Amino acid sequence: MEKFGGRNAGLPFFAFVDSKGELIVNSKRPTESEPGGKNIGHPFAPEEIIWFMKMLNKAAPRMTEAEAQKIESWLKQQKK
């Protein structure tokens, strides 16, 4: 987990890697106050869902718009 930026990030922590095991993106969402990012955990809040969808777009560029919409809709329906 540390290799992918997850040290002290909490759980759940997501890291998407390429076929060589190199990090594509992780669940630490950068902000103005925290440029290194803060772990989104399970994405509930709108800004967390936006970051998770950006992660998926980077890690799964062949994902269709319909697939992305289905995931995003499901996340938005979750209760914290």
Q: What is the pLDDT of residues 6-29, one digit of tens each?
A: 999 999 999 999 999 999 999 999
Q: How far apart are CA 52 and CA 76, in angstroms?
A: 12
pTM score:
0.92
Question: Which string of DSSP letters, residue by residue, matches 18-71?
Answer: -TTS-EEEESEE--SS-TT-EE--S--SHHHHHHHHHHHHHH-TT--HHHHHHH
The answer to whether residue 80 scores a pLDDT higher than 90 is: no
